[in-house]
Structure 1
């Protein structure tokens, strides 16, 4: 692993537009999540283009405006009432630099202004590192969804209460 990727990376997060779509597709397709669900370029492009159009995707940029990761969430994605994190992905060589944590903080700070908010996400059984990150951030597993998105892959539904 490169030395640069072992240090905390300073980023700024902003609403994505189409100029970042290719970077987001590349980041997604080079992740375990992307390999499992979005190996088809057109499928990934369509999903992320939709997210840009809905203004539900934010990019993590370095000081040179290079896209290092993104987060895609819906403010009322669970039961029409609670924020749902759809995807968080970080460029491979910048993982373990704190970017994922910064994106998660952005999600929690911006997805709801309710003092009693509950945040939801799903994480697949093939991604124990992400599940551990979410647990370290206070998310609890509230259910298991066998074969939820794809046969043979179990999904954990996780929730965190604000405060």
Structure 2
């Protein structure tokens, strides 16, 4: 199904945006998620899971020194609707961990909206711990849990 995971050039922008178009997640952030995708790809920090047929099935934006200019920060992760429930999120998180180890980091970080209980449960099941919650970090009605995972 997934043939490769790689950093995506700007030529993939429309396919990356398609991961979130019409998605409840994007709606919760008033369309800002699409702007985040554009920023991630322009900064050459957007990774994509590409299928055997060349389709972008999932993306993640990794800022290699985004948390306190020291630890990798997963700024965004998303799986296209027709690929959800197949373990792609878990797969990408394992790649994120591998990138952290390659960078010789002992911690990786992310934030997750308090409404996104399914994602938070996934992160916790993979060893991430919430270290705090920032109310109204991006949106006035959404709190964001800061989560950290210590790498082996």
TM-score of the two chains, using structure 1 as the length reference: 0.85
| Conserved 8 A contact 1:72-1:86 | yes
Matched, 1:18 2:7: no
Matched, 1:146 2:98: no
Pairing partner for 2:25 from 20, 33, 55: 33
Matched, 1:133 2:125: no
5+ residue gaps, structure 2: none
Higher RCO, 1 or 2 (CA under 8 Å, sep at least 6)? 1
Rounded Cα–Cα distance in structure 2 between residues aligned with 1:64 and 1:116: 34
* Equivalences, count: 152
Pairing partner for 1:78 from 67, 89, 95: 67
Rounded Cα–Cα distance in structure 2 between residues aligned with 1:130 and 1:113: 25
| Conserved 8 A contact 1:31-1:89 | no
Q: How far 1:92 moved relative to its partner?
A: 0.7
Counterpart in the other structure of 1:123: 112
Rounded Cα–Cα distance in structure 1 between residues aligned with 2:37 and 2:129: 27
CA displacement, residues 90-123 of structure 1 (integer Å, 9 cap, x when unaligned): 0011111111111111111113435551111000
5+ residue gaps, structure 1: 1-8
Counterpart in the other structure of 1:88: 77
1:20–1:116 Cα change, 3 Å = closer
1:58–1:116 Cα change, 3 Å = closer
Higher strand fraction (1 or 2): 2
CA displacement, residues 115-156 of structure 1 (integer Å, 9 cap, x when unaligned): 551111000011101001101111011101111111111111
| Conserved 8 A contact 2:100-2:107 | no
